[in-house]
Chains A and B, each alone.
Chain A
């Protein structure tokens, strides 16, 4: 091939063949010389890169904001204590827009452009399910903080793990004994007519039945509904407990209209705090909730018996005694869920240390090391409480809190045991190839 334009002419760049060869030889020499050892060590102290798939925009933005704050606090604590395997942790954030299509692209971007060691931090279940195939194909460990039952259902793949927050099925099962014993035996469920609501629709009746109580009516409300008055006459008169899991901006209207419907004599109310995460419990219209009970993963309000580690955790993530941002009482946190970010990062740290994790080539080892974990003791790394982990279904199990709305705050009145939320595994991820 001719080279008329001198494209391959090294002299054009001021290089001769001789100097080029010298350069190559010097480079090769450098690679085998003792000096290179130092360079290798520098490589191994390069940061562990964690790709954070964050809901910065879209429906999950309020959660995303607090997930980011909690993650930053946990990473700061981990780095101050020496990082992971002596390497600092670096978090790279990409916004998924709370959209499953974009979520899958973001996982691809972490795997192939940022070349992160893991992907982490997703909450909304449709984004997790939409992103899971991309994570599995890229063989990218994907640590979610999602609460959904989809991970434990073993319908995803071996690279998806949820070691830092319990799943909805477990939470519902753990609530049932308390509801039956303290609130009432005849329960009417009101839930949004989409997946989050379906978990409650499907798992609550058998859980209550096992406790000698029953669901006497299930009222599904379309997600587009903005007024609820027309549904309330469907609530049977003999209802002792209304179990509600409404989410989204309509929840304030829902509570207000329920209050207008019942006046001063109402059945017991039991809800999941998901409805009111990042919402001030003292917002106008929520007075009707006074005296009602809520599930909380981790308590929003500081409790008199808070452990030292719980106090330290709250200080680290920057929430005050009311569960709002320090210095901004209106910026209410998503306390019931965001602890999962903190705990998941510490599980990642433990698993990476167990696996002797060095880089992306050890990702499969990291998955196996996580699967081998069985218990997480309560402490600075797990401030919400002790947990067990089932490596076959990639899901942790822990305690749950039941809180009562009293005097404009949520006071914990009952803590469940880990065993209350255990159920038979539905499959086994460890049989899948890595």
Chain B
């Protein structure tokens, strides 16, 4: 695989960000709103990709990190009346802390056992949300009040319910995470992660501490997912246990597989693709999940490494 020059790689990513920025001015209202949501959830997928794509650890419990951010930020506004930046930071902190604890425990396992352990922890997290329904709203969830969803910057107040502010906030978060991901995977640390994925025994023999490197990856991945959850709560105004259910652990896996695991832009492509397939097909039939399933099978047959992964394999070997 050829390596892109830093300039080429960053130019591509900045180009994507510029395109998303430009789309804000031309998209129809509905697609504008949908793309804001897709960007936030693509961040979730990018967080998942960090662990799955680059370290090769398949987690079935990432909904807990997303919802740690979701509840961390949402409940801070609802119960404590915190400002948007403080609530967002609380969401990040919850996700990072949870990821650290889960990482310390779950990384004692690998392979199928890691999948099961992460799924079990996510289930525990989900049931804890239901158990503390008095604070979390249980399965009904809670509305984050509009009055608390205002970003105050100096003398300026930006309501996160405003579609433009929401789109731009989502874009800023997406851009930061995209560039951080790109920087990470191109760094020495990123290469160590790939080495662990490819052959952890050999990497260990070369003197790298596998456990601590993996642990850092779990924490980074969990924190990025929590950032997505926190943004979701603050931008869209709802926290609910559905987002902690197993379905939301499987979705990022699908998005990443579709877009291309271990590609920096794959999560965005996968999320975008899935969203629009569901959105368009559900307009025609209630059996839209069947069509989604067929689309997934076709993709696996013709794009076995996901959309960007296959493009990289066949045509553009330099894609990061």
> A interface vs B, CB < 8 Å?
56-57, 94-95, 99-101, 104-105, 108-109, 112-113, 125-126, 129-130, 132-134, 136-137, 148, 150, 155-157, 193-195, 198, 222-223
Contacts and interface: CB of A to CB of B under 8 A. Distances in A.
A52 to B, nearest CB: 13
A133 B29 contact: no
A249 to B, nearest CB: 17
B168 to A, nearest CB: 16
B10 interface: no
B139 A194 contact: yes
Contacts of B240: 100, 126, 129-130
Contact of B133 (A100, A113, A129, A194): A194
B25 interface: no
Contacts of B242: 99-101, 126, 130
B183 interface: no
A129 B32 CA distance: 23
B140 A125 contact: yes
Given A95-B286, A129-B140, A104 B130 contact: no
Contacts of A99: 242
30 contacts: A57-B288, A94-B282, A94-B283, A95-B288, A99-B242, A104-B236, A104-B238, A105-B34, A105-B37, A108-B30, A108-B33, A112-B29, A129-B143, A129-B240, A130-B242, A132-B143, A133-B143, A133-B144, A133-B161, A133-B236, A133-B238, A134-B236, A134-B237, A136-B146, A137-B237, A155-B142, A156-B143, A194-B130, A195-B140, A222-B127
Interface of B: 28-30, 32-34, 37, 127, 130, 133, 137-144, 146, 161, 236-238, 240-243, 279, 282-283, 286, 288-289
Looking at chain A's contact residues, is the secondary structure mostly helix, strand, loop, or mixed? helix
B143 A57 contact: no
Contacts of A101: 242-243
Contacts of B283: 94
A222 B28 CA distance: 44
Contact of B137 (A129, A132, A133, A156): A129
A100 B238 contact: yes
Contacts of B37: 105
The 4 A-B residue pairs with the shortest CB-CB distance in the complex, in nearest-first order: A133-B237, A113-B30, A112-B29, A112-B30
Contacts of B28: 112-113
Contact of B34 (A108, A150, A155): A108
Given A112-B29, A126-B141, A198 B238 contact: no
Contacts of A129: 137, 140-143, 238, 240
